[in-house]
């Protein structure tokens, strides 16, 4: 891997006698943070991953000098200064601020839901007028919203729900909005100001030079094996370390004995365009259901500090298609409805009894974590270890 000075062990160099304090299964952000902290305390760690590269879903591929987020756009945002300082000690982050544009049948709206959106939708120019309009549209929802549909309508009214939320959400998740948990839509701010920042957090950016620099910095000096499937030789891997940190899917760990948890998967199509700027923003969401993909990502816009790349005549755009998850595919999003949450609790009870194994990260905890949550949880978990 470019600019990677991690020692990648090959199988024949590997010594079966070697013992580790921690075997980390999965080379994503959770385990990279854990390994960094463990190594600082003099612990011996081995990281293995079944993919051919490190970094899990934050992995970037450099195409035409552009850091392409191969598994979907990742923008680091946090309110936690300790987390922000920690990641910035590894690699400086730029001041990228996400301002997503929604495209509904060729009509463009600003996201998240703010005065620009309300003006575009209804021609209302003041917060009071916007509030009045929304209130008039959510009259039928009373009490505490119990699903995504009720939550969305009560926050922004029917017009925005029908134009920017319903069809996007149903293709993204593959199920009806009234079958999805309300918290998913609360990820997006609703504000009565002309502010298109997608996040409310104090700190936001992407690593200068891409996410591989973050992962490589965290894993500097840590032994790592890629293209290496833990489950193919689980007893062997378990025998070489005192503890295992497992960041894969929890149901897979237990051989799906109680059945499958449901996930949403994605398919990415990356295209190089011989032109400087295709869409004028990093992320454009397609919120109608006739368009089979959810969003297009033009990666060069993340790299705001790198003017030559911005001005280069080439650009890379990724089209992101949501797909039904089936065994063997990459699981991206946990579907935290009641059935899945109950099943997860069954697996979690089993996990608690695995004395030598720590379970952490989006897949092992079956939670819709952002990167900041992953870093914070991993730091805390290691601190509990010492």
Could you list the active site residues? 187, 191, 264, 295, 320, 368, 370
Burial class (CB in 10 A: 0-12, 13-18, 19+), 106: exposed
Q: How far is the CB of 169 from ligand UDP (least distance, A)?
A: 4
List all residues 6 or more positions away from 53 whose beta carbon is below 8 Å from its beta carbon.
Answer: 1, 27, 59, 226
Nearer to ligand UDP (CB atom), residue 114 or residue 216: 114
Rounded CA-CA distance 152/287 in Å is 14
Q: Which of 58, 133, 138, 164 binds ligand UDP (CB under 6 A)?
A: 164
Q: Which of 102, 134, 141, 379 binds ligand UDP (CB under 6 A)?
A: 102
Point out which residues pair with 379 in neighbouring strands: none
Burial class (CB in 10 A: 0-12, 13-18, 19+), 185: buried
Nearer to ligand UDP (CB atom), residue 38 or residue 165: 165
155 binds ligand UDP (CB under 6 A): no
Q: How far is the CB of 73 from ligand UDP (least distance, A)?
A: 7
Interacting residues with ligand UDP between 170 and 189 (CB under 6 A): 172, 184-185, 187-188
Buried-exposed string 206-226: b where 16+ CB fall within 10 A, e elsewhere:
bbbbbbbbbbbbbbeebbbbb
Taking CA 53 as the corner, what is the angle to CA 282 and CA 311, rounded to the nearest 5 degrees? 30
196 binds ligand UDP (CB under 6 A): no
Going residue by residue from 246 to 285, which x/- string records binding to ligand UDP, judged by CB under 6 A? ---------------------------------------x
| DSSP one-letter string for 286-319 | E-SSSSS-SEEEEGGGG-TT-HHHHHSS-EEEEE
169 binds ligand UDP (CB under 6 A): yes
Q: Measuring CA to CA, how many Å separate 234 from each of 15, 230, 241, 242? A: 16, 5, 12, 14
Nearer to ligand UDP (CB atom), residue 172 or residue 372: 172
| DSSP one-letter string for 73-108 | ---EEES-HHHHHHHHHHS-B-------EEEETTEE
Strand (E) or helix (H) holding 253: helix 250-253
Nearer to ligand UDP (CB atom), residue 30 or residue 168: 168
Going residue by residue from 103 to 142, which x/- string records binding to ligand UDP, judged by CB under 6 A? --------x-------------------------------
372 binds ligand UDP (CB under 6 A): no
Size of the site for ligand UDP (CB under 6 A): 13
Q: How far is the CB of 278 from ligand UDP (least distance, A)?
A: 19
Residues interacting with ligand UDP, by CB under 6 A?
102, 111, 164-165, 168-169, 172, 184-185, 187-188, 285, 287
């Amino acid at each position: 891997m470019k600019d990677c000075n991690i020692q990648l062990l090959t199988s024949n160099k590997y010594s079966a006698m070697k013992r580790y304090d921690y075997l980390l299964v999965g080379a994503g952000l959770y385990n990279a943070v854990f390994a960094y902290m463990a190594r600082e305390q003099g612990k011996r760690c081995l990281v293995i991953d079944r993919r051919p590269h490190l970094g899990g879903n934050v992995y970037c591929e450099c195409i035409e000098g552009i850091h392409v987020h191969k598994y979907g756009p990742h923008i680091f945002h946090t309110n936690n200064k300790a987390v922000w300082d920690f990641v910035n000690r590894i690699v400086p982050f730029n001041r990228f601020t996400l301002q997503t544009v929604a495209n509904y049948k060729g009509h463009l709206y600003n996201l998240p839901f703010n005065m620009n959106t309300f003006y575009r939708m209804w021609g209302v120019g003041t917060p009071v007028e916007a509030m009045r309009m929304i209130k008039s549209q959510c009259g039928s929802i009373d009490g505490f919203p119990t699903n995504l549909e009720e939550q969305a309508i009560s926050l922004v009214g029917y017009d925005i729900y029908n134009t920017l939320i319903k069809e996007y959400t149903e293709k993204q998740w593959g199920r009806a909005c009234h079958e999805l948990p309300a918290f998913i839509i609360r990820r997006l701010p609703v504000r009565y100001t002309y502010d298109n920042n997608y996040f409310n957090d104090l700190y936001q950016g992407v690593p200068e030079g891409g996410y591989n620099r973050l992962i490589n910095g965290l894993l500097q000096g840590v032994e790592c094996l890629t293209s290496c499937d833990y489950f193919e030789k689980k007893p062997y891997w378990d025998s070489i370390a005192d503890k295992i940190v497992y960041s894969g899917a929890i149901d897979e760990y237990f051989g799906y004995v109680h059945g499958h948890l449901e996930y949403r998967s994605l398919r990415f199509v990356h295209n190089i365009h011989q032109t400087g700027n295709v869409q004028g923003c990093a992320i454009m969401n397609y919120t109608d259901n006739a368009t089979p993909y959810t969003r297009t990502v033009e990666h060069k816009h993340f790299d705001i500090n790198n003017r030559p790349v911005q001005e280069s005549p080439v650009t890379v755009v990724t089209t992101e298609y949501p797909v039904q998850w089936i065994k063997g595919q990459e699981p991206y999003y946990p579907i935290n409805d009641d059935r899945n949450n109950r099943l997860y609790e069954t697996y979690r009870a089993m996990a608690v009894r695995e004395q030598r194994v720590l379970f952490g990260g989006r897949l092992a905890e079956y939670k819709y974590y952002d990167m900041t949550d992953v870093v914070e949880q991993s730091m805390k978990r290691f601190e509990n270890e010492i």
